[in-house]
Structure 1
């Protein structure tokens, strides 16, 4: 996004003045920090401090950061938090309330007094709530992985991933859950997630992948994916997996599971079809399986067009080439090659990715002899109600059940540690 301002009242002659422009790749801001642009979909209810300074939060690569923007000078200043993500919740005068967290620290409220203009980065935070000590992740850590696509001809090559999990000394010991995000134009960030603690306590590592097309890395990266879905994003996932296995010797290359929802489900079903020998199990909730049929019933038909690189329109006669492009970009074309046991979690009230997507995939996997299961829920796209969230345990049990060589004398090897 770009941040602009204009004098009131607005008229047809009003020309907004750009304060912070769209960032194609990266720029330098106050104090020499690197800035990748604005991706916020809103502001705090009270975002203003003295001196016409606006506070907001936005994704930046693998974190969510809070910024102060002086709308007179255009200066952008990062209110740094070095150990995870930080979001401003409220501003009153120059008093700022914020939330800090990371994968191993639940949300913590902090408060600070914003210094004068030009010195905002010197803000000092005071804890309002205590940090909770969690049992389970004592031997765990997270690491940011800056990655590059192998194709030197691509206009955008850089992307990133985050590994979270055990820091074992034993080589090839830790099973890995590969988790690409949904969207596709959003991003994973280092903040509190219940699933991280759950998976870590059972000895799993997680690889969160921000493939090209993710926000937080410049507009060029966001737009790069259009017309390349099912190809460049899949290639990025493989690159991220290979780099994680190379960088972290504790990971077991023969115990890889796939986990994702919506567009993340699109990617994990692509991966299991395009690389059938690499993965032991798949969990996909409300996955996009066939864009050609999805666009007929989804409440976002325009999404299906734009992501395959064409303009959305209902004018004129039907263009079969567009439908074919949607089909070719979809995981359904690789379903006959899948070998990994697959668990589908489907919301029957999903308007975004209608439940027929999961049903179509389930029937095709069954017909091709793949061990598969489909759980139907009285829920929408997010499957966010508590009873559905509880089924995250079923996801974990499915992955554990289908690990390679996961039992020693009848005892699950993760329980031997």
Structure 2
């Protein structure tokens, strides 16, 4: 009996394995497994334990809640984690010998993150607190129920996924005593503080904070080394750009962190930096790598990933992720400048944990035909042992399609990389429709990673083409920067060149049945494409941009993203309009389905409303579907039933027109 075809509802059958954390002695580990619960219409995650000698896996927490960020106590006897068991995320402690988890914090607005103190008797917390209040103060419920006006005096006043930002609430850092629950606030002032690292001797912490009063045009968060006793600060880095993920070396001499400057704004590659505390100098350890440090893969499966930005061994060696040519690989570095990969090609390491001696890694690995599991990898040999098999039964039941990697030359002699999937159940000699998928960002990348939506389209009988046009990460700095100021020109040429190449090399593609779809930047590009060519017989645009003029003022990032990417502001409305798909609405002949989340503040729904009304008034074939209670991340972390509905809308539209 053959395998069945993948279905929309298979989202409920998939498991996401993340957050591997090794015990201090390296003999055991914990991790988090997440799945979507169809009955409760929510995400359920729990902590699991693995004994690394026997490789036996045991579930440690239960219930239909969400847990994240498990961390071992320094003595290995307890694990702390975050859970929303009582609405807001709080810190819970569970014994490594088993038993019920004990709630440690009861902060009114919850806890954002935490780190163990090396003494094992205290936990450092990062959490929001209202000005003039303490973390444990409770706001009056009566006051919460009354609507109040919201006065806006700054440009950074809202954020996708968060809504209107509280103007009187600030992220502070503090310490919680395990024995008594007593809370002591460490930082002060009306600033947003970020806790990055605690030294192994407990005497220093790394804090990120920008104390400028007006943050509207601030795109930096300086990192400071802070003496716990005196609170004296030493600057690690205070430059334009984004830096974080700091970690102390085991001997506390060095601090490694990851970040990027503003040379190419948000198109700039990230690097690993190391600060020498004794000498007071900083070096860029990965400057010779023309690829970004970190994970830039876009997909729709993994939940709650929280991979270390960088990890030390006791030999003062470093490990980190690197996005390169569609892979996310584990890389090794020494302070002397040695750099080389520590994992193979054609896969996506989306989470990991390193042993202190550097001999062993726990790697959470996915590829195009495996949703991802946890493996134990011996660094010297590369040998791997499978630790989890949560998706094994699913893989035995369902037919998945292996994408074929392609490389081709576009305009400006630019080499472009991508993948082509044949339809599931492909038969030689038959003709099949083809759908082009376009990722968001644009500074992300498609990769060698499991993508339920791609596999679903293949299961529906479509070929699928997805490429990384100029602007995508995972390639050279010049490649990722090439899209800026050029939206709809070079990137459009890259996508269409890829289409021409695969049509020329694959006679199974029915050129009369071509579809195109994409979200965010991919939605912009879908809108642009249907206004510039009639080759596609159906299109679906998701969380898209149609008008850069209005986007400038309505998006939570509009006023600076437009300047960085389109390289124009409201003093150059002509250029913003020139790159706006709405300008070319009269040319659209492709039936276009518009899908958009009502709470999307990144690409606000007015972008879809403008496009829909304009096309409808012009007599074009279009429909508009609005998703309530959903933001920009609907396809990845949205309410489960809405994710299902979204995929069904896509399938139904292509079925109707292709």
TM class, shorter-length: 0.7 to 0.9
Q: Is the 8 A contact 1:46 1:90 kept in 2?
A: no
1:7 partnered with 2:276: yes
Task: Encode CA deviations 1:365-413: one digit per residue, 9 max, x unaligned.
Answer: 111211211111121111222122112022111111101xxxxxxxxxx
Residue from 176, 198, 205 that aligns with 2:456: 198
Distance of 2:606 and 2:541 partners within structure 1: 14
Distance of 1:144 and 1:64 partners within structure 2: 15
Partner of 1:218: 476
Residue from 367, 370, 374 that aligns with 1:102: 367
1:326 partnered with 2:576: yes
1:297 partnered with 2:554: yes
TM-score (norm 1): 0.83
Residue from 486, 489, 500 that aligns with 1:231: 489
Distance of 2:453 and 2:295 partners within structure 1: 24
Higher mean alpha-carbon deviation, 54-63 vs 369-378, is at 54-63
Partner of 1:33: none
Distance of 2:506 and 2:347 partners within structure 1: 21
1:144 is paired with a residue whose SS is: strand
1:143 partnered with 2:404: yes
Task: Encode CA deviations 1:253-308: one digit per residue, 9 max, x unaligned.
Answer: 221111111100000111111002x1111111110111111011111121111111
Q: Is the 8 A contact 2:422 2:462 kept in 1?
A: yes
1:337 partnered with 2:605: no
Distance of 2:324 and 2:379 partners within structure 1: 22
1:190 is paired with a residue whose SS is: coil
Deviation of residue 250 (structure 1)? 2.0
Unaligned runs of 5+ in 1: 25-35, 116-121, 313-317, 404-417
1:87 partnered with 2:350: yes
Task: Encode CA deviations 1:22-77: one digit per residue, 9 max, x unaligned.
Answer: 645xxxxxxxxxxx34244885278223322222223212222221222x122222
Task: Encode CA deviations 1:221-246: one digit per residue, 9 max, x unaligned.
Answer: 11111111111111111001111112
Q: Is the 8 A contact 2:411 2:490 kept in 1?
A: no
Q: Is the 8 A contact 1:209 1:237 kept in 2?
A: yes
1:348 partnered with 2:573: no
Distance of 1:183 and 1:91 partners within structure 2: 30
Distance of 2:546 and 2:454 partners within structure 1: 26
Partner of 2:467: 209
Residue from 424, 431, 437 that aligns with 1:179: 437
Residue from 385, 388, 402 that aligns with 1:129: 388
Higher mean alpha-carbon deviation, 353-362 vs 47-56, is at 47-56
The structure where helix makes up a greater share of residues is 1
Greater length-normalized contact order (CA 8 Å, ≥ 6 residues apart): 1
Q: Is the 8 A contact 1:22 1:38 kept in 2?
A: no
Residue from 340, 362, 376 that aligns with 1:111: 376
Partner of 1:56: 320
2:471 is paired with a residue whose SS is: coil
CA RMSD of aligned residues (A): 2.2
TM-score (norm 2): 0.53
Partner of 2:103: none
Residue from 272, 293, 296 that aligns with 1:38: 293
1:335 is paired with a residue whose SS is: helix
Q: Is the 8 A contact 2:515 2:538 kept in 1?
A: yes
Deviation of residue 248 (structure 1)? 2.3
Give the direction of change, closer, same or farther, for the CA distance of 1:19–1:346 in structure 2 (3 Å limit): same
Give the direction of change, closer, same or farther, for the CA distance of 1:171–1:308 in structure 2 (3 Å limit): farther
Give the direction of change, closer, same or farther, for the CA distance of 1:223–1:22 in structure 2 (3 Å limit): farther
Partner of 1:389: 643
Higher mean alpha-carbon deviation, 166-175 vs 198-207, is at 166-175
1:192 is paired with a residue whose SS is: coil
Deviation of residue 88 (structure 1)? 4.2
Distance of 2:327 and 2:308 partners within structure 1: 18
Give the direction of change, closer, same or farther, for the CA distance of 1:171–1:304 in structure 2 (3 Å limit): farther
Give the direction of change, closer, same or farther, for the CA distance of 1:171–1:15 in structure 2 (3 Å limit): farther
Partner of 2:421: 164
Higher mean alpha-carbon deviation, 50-59 vs 182-191, is at 50-59
Distance of 1:217 and 1:199 partners within structure 2: 27
Q: Is the 8 A contact 1:142 1:165 kept in 2?
A: yes
Partner of 1:20: 286
Q: Is the 8 A contact 1:286 1:347 kept in 2?
A: yes
Partner of 2:247: none
Task: Encode CA deviations 1:194-251: one digit per residue, 9 max, x unaligned.
Answer: 1123222211121112001110111111111111111111111100111111222222
Task: Encode CA deviations 1:157-194: one digit per residue, 9 max, x unaligned.
Answer: 12211112337353461211101111011111111111
Distance of 1:335 and 1:172 partners within structure 2: 35
Partner of 2:623: 373
1:270 partnered with 2:535: no
Q: Is the 8 A contact 1:136 1:200 kept in 2?
A: no
